[in-house]
Amino acid sequence: MMAQNEDPPFIGDWHREKKLGSGGFGFVTLWKNHKTNEMVAIKKCHILLDKSEMTDKNCERWCNEVSLMTNKVRNENIVRTVQVQPEAFLQELIKCSANKLPILCMEYCEGGDLRRVLNRVSSCSGLKELEVREILRSLRNAISYLHGLKITHRDIKPENIVLKQVGDRVVYKLTDLGYAKALDKQSLNASLVGTVEYIAPDLIYCDRYNCSVDYWSMGIIGFEIICGIRPFSPHSIVAKWMMLVQQKKSNHIAITEDNRENYTYHSEIFPENHISSVLKTYLEKWLTLALEWNPKQRGHVFQIGDKEVTEQQLKSAKEPPNGQPVQVLKIFSMLDHILAKKILTIFCLYDCRFLSVEIDDTTNMDTLCSAIAAQTGIARDAIEFVLPLEQKLDRVTATTKPVDLYLDGFYDKPMLFVVKKGAIIQADLKPQIPKSVTDVFQNIKVKLKPHMLRQFVANAWFFVTSEQRVYATALDGIKNYGLMLNEEIVKGREDVVRMNKVSYGISGGLEYHKLSLNHAKEKAMSNQLSPDTIQQCFTVLEERCVRMEATVGKLAEVADKITTRYESVLKRSREAVSHPLLRASDQQDHFNLKSLDSRFEIARVQILEKNTHEKSHIDMLQAVYECLKKRDILLRDYSFKELQQQLIDIRREMQEIRKALDKAQEHAEKFKKDLAKMIVEHNNSVWSLLSQSSSVNSATCNGNGSIIPDIDRIMGSGSGGIVNGDLPGAPQFVVGGTVSSLPNSLGGEPISKSLLCFGEGPDVMSLITANESLIMTTDGLINDAFEWMK
């Protein structure tokens, strides 16, 4: 039987699914249309059996929320209202309400609220940078929008920030405007409303407030999503909390209490977080604005002209400033400026540490190298870059700019790896253990107070998971380093092949030159030149040819050795990249994280149930101890060290191969020029030899006409003159026609030597083939000779 005023299980096609939660003055229920699959969140005012309990003020606030959400508020980061059909569905819901107040129909945000996200074990030390950025951006948009409408929310807390999946991104939306109040000059009376942990101090101690109370809540949430805990001694009672916060200075953004009730004021975000160091530094300054005690200064800065000045600077100034200081609202514009910054996330393999460098379109690689050198201590000339697979670029070149390496939204993984030349991971790598953990190691038997136990288990969890992340990232960096080497080696194949071609080409050219030299010597001797003259001319040429032959032979040997070493280093490079350690390293649980989560949950339950004891911290301490042992084993593992040394050796050997290859190519170019020069000098010597013996050659020609080609007979000597461009009786040559042998062209007559040129044989086809081969062989050498002559 349905209780009085309880919503029915279904109304038409609409079915009641589950209760989503409560806030302000109402509770929220999920309804689903089983016909259209539409889902809406219905918010109704609390059912009060005793009508006297509902004050006029609460009724007014409820109606105010419905009015604001339905008629006025339209923003991407504020939960929107929806129209639900049919109208009878809403009328039936109102009938079931004891107070008959209007109903609020809102979009369903299936991701739950931010509190659920913060309650995850993985959020105990804050959220990932991408989530932090999105939440801060969403809060900024929603709050500035409401303030633009002169509306102050007054109850901003994780429970009032809900998550909705839109495409491939999560949108964070502010909800529950039950305490929101439209502000005007006549109405600034405050009341103690909202959740105490997130409300501004002025809502507690002051009779008047302004919209800066939302800045405070925004700052508290901002700190909590970064560190996983509220900033100001969150375990303290309200009175103690107020006293502590009131005593803080403007630059203090956190207060902690140790196990002996000593309080420490912090001006920095706790180191146990998941955001980059650059973003951390900027957000620390922004948090000083949001968490300013003085509500009149909260969210504002003092400026003289365009220059920002602090209150302390104004007080300590010896001379009055040039101009009147003006308070300027910066809480939103400063956050916009911070979130718009491009921060390059880097992982240094040498010390296994995450770095970050702020960049813009004007930043060059020299500036980036200087920043990395300052953070790591690695000399600038020893810095090498390795790109992860997610990068679009293949490698960092002389024209690369740091902004080309920036990957938007890629904050939790490195956009760039840094390697120190000649090393990968340093031998003595110290662990970065949180102070709260080292304190417990020094006094294992200590009984931690609940708030210290909470800090200890969170920091212990952070340390172990960070070691998992660092080791997995280091393996990923080593793998990318190996892939980079492999790619460089593969690209070097073209140079090795080209070197071999040049080497064999020079050897072939030299061999042809030797044949040419011998042929010229034989012809010179057959021309009845003086043996002494011939010997004097050709001895020098032959000696030079022999010397070059020995040198070119060494070049060929070097080319063969380079090829052998290249094939060896290529094989070893491929083996290194496929090493078992590098297979699915990011998915392997190296430090038993499942057990770690269980241990954390046990400690958290004890804290929530106030059932802590002297040994509540032992399980998490044991997890840290096991992590340190496993870390030492992994870093000292033989295969891990062997893999690093293998890659270092491959890199060194490839550099040696590259030097040898460059030197060999340099010598090859020199040998090509020397060979071309030899050919030219050979030709000059032969022509000089012929010119010296012109008289002898002339006498020989006149005395022995049988060796002179019979031009008349070759061309034909018929009396009919030229017919169709040919001499009558001569062999007929037609351009493009078939080539017949000389005997066939002469009608089968015996071939006289007078029809042949020097060195010509009777087979024309053989002559053509030989000439084609000669042309192909000497083409490159002729070109080189012409280049040298120029």
**CATH number of the structural domain spanning residue 50:** 3.30.200.20
Q: Which residues are within 8 A (CB) of 766 and not within 5 positions of it... i.e. 6 or more apart?
A: none
| Active-site residue, from 7, 13, 113, 155 | 155
Give the SS3 label for residue 19.
strand
Spatial distance between the Cα atoms of 325 and 304, rounded to a whole number of angstroms: 5
Both 405 and 531 in one domain: the answer is no
What mean pLDDT comes out for the span 331-359? Answer: 96
pLDDT tens per residue across span 241-279: 999 999 999 999 999 999 999 999 999 999 999 999 999
Q: What is the pTM of this model?
A: 0.79
CB 478 within 8 A of CB 349: yes
Same domain, 165 and 227: yes
Q: What mean pLDDT do residues 422-445 have?
A: 92
Residues 120 and 178 in one domain: yes
* Mean pLDDT of the region 186-197: 49
Q: Is residue 525 assigned to a domain?
A: yes
- H or E stretch including 695? helix 694-703
Which residue, of 398, 421, 444, is where some domain finishes? 421
Residue 756 lies in a domain: yes
149 and 18 share one domain: no
Kindly indicate the confidence band of residue 690, based on its pLDDT and cuts at 50, 70 and 90: low
**What pLDDT, on the 0 to 100 scale, is given for residue 61?**
76
Q: State whether 185 and 272 are in the same domain.
A: yes
Digit-coded pLDDT (tens) for 34-81:
889 999 998 887 655 455 555 677 777 778 778 888 888 899 999 999
**Which of the four pLDDT bands, split at 50, 70 and 90, describes residue 748?**
low
What pLDDT sits at residue 226?
A: 98
Of 163, 152, 12, 156, which Cα lies nearest the Cα of 79? 163
| 320's tokens | 């009055």
Residues 6+ apart with CB under 8 A from 788: 673, 676, 677, 680
Of 105-109, 246-250, 780-784, minimum mean pLDDT range: 780-784
- Whether residue 611 is contained in a domain is answered as no
Q: Give mean pLDDT, residues 693-716.
A: 47
Lowest-pLDDT range, 267-276, 310-319, 389-398, 463-472? 310-319
AA letter at 408:
D
Higher pLDDT, 373 or 727: 373
Q: Is position 127 within any domain?
A: yes
In a domain, 486, yes or no: no
Q: Is the pLDDT of residue 789 over 70?
A: no
Residues 327-339 pLDDT 10s: 889 999 999 999 9
My answer on whether 71 and 192 are in the same domain is no
**For residues 225 and 131, is the Cβ–Cβ distance under 8 A?**
yes
CA distances from 442 to 258, 421, 438, 452, 568 (A): 15, 38, 6, 15, 52
Joined tokens for residue 731: 């062999």
Q: Is the pLDDT of residue 656 over 80?
A: yes
Q: What is the mean pLDDT of the chain?
A: 82
601, 596, 599, 616: which is closest to 449 by C-alpha? 616
pLDDT of 723 strictly over 60: no
Q: Does residue 438 surpass a pLDDT of 90?
A: yes
The pLDDT of residue 388 is above 50: yes
> Which of 621, 622, 616 has its CA nearest to residue 602?
616
116-142 pLDDT, tens digit each: 999 999 999 999 999 999 999 999 999
Mean pLDDT of 704-733: 48
pLDDT of 190:
40
405 & 534 share domain:
no
Does residue 163 share a domain with residue 79?
A: no
Report pLDDT digits (tens) over 472-514.
Answer: 999 999 999 999 999 988 888 888 888 888 888 878 887 877 7
Is pLDDT at 207 greater than 50 in this prediction? yes
For residue 640, tell me if it sits in a domain: no
* 499 and 350 fall within a common domain: no
Contact assessment for residue 721 and residue 713, using Cβ atoms and an 8 Å cutoff = no
Instruction: State how far the alpha carbon of 526 is from the alpha carbons of 332, 534, 688, 710, in Å.
Output: 101, 11, 17, 20
Q: If pLDDT is split at 50, 70 and 90, which confidence band does 758 have?
A: very low
Residue 441 is assigned to a structural domain of this protein: no
pLDDT score recorded for residue 718: 47
Mean pLDDT across the stretch 599-614? 93
**Nearest partner of 285 among 263, 264, 308, judged by Cα:** 308
Q: Clarify whether 155 is annotated catalytic.
A: yes
Confidence of residue 309 (pLDDT cuts 50, 70, 90): confident
C-alpha–C-alpha distance, residues 189 and 441, integer Å: 52
223, 279: one domain: yes
- The dihedral through the CA atoms of 663, 668, 673, 678 has a sign that is positive
How many H helices and E strands in the chain? 22, 18
Euclidean distance between CA atoms 537 and 511, whole angstroms? 20
- Residue 521: the pLDDT is 74
Cα separation of 432 and 463, whole Å? Answer: 8
Q: Is 364 helix (H, G, I), strand (E, B) or coil?
A: coil
Domain boundary among 400, 421, 442: 421
Counting the structural domains of the chain, the total is 5
List of long-range contacts for 428-435, beta carbons under 8 Å, 24+ apart: 429/351, 429/352, 429/635, 431/463, 431/467, 431/628, 431/631, 432/463, 432/466, 433/463, 433/624, 434/271, 434/272, 434/459, 434/460, 434/462, 434/463
Average pLDDT of the residues in 456-469: 96
Q: Are 152 and 180 in contact (CB under 8 A)?
A: yes
Higher pLDDT, 129 or 676: 129
Euclidean distance between CA atoms 221 and 211, whole angstroms: 16
Alpha-carbon gap, residue 317 to 337, rounded angstroms? 29
* pLDDT confidence tier of residue 193, bands split at 50, 70 and 90: very low
Q: What is the mean pLDDT of residues 9-31?
A: 83
Same domain for 166 and 70, yes or no, is no
Predicted local confidence at residue 737, as pLDDT: 56
Residue 4 lies in a domain: no
Average pLDDT over every residue of 699-710: 44
Verify that 123 and 31 share a domain, yes or no.
Answer: no
Is pLDDT at 788 greater than 70 in this prediction? no
Residue 148, pLDDT score: 93
The residue range of the domain holding 39 is 10-107
Specify the range with the lowest mean pLDDT, choosing from 75-79, 302-306, 594-598, 742-746.
742-746
Which of 107, 130, 152 finishes a domain?
107
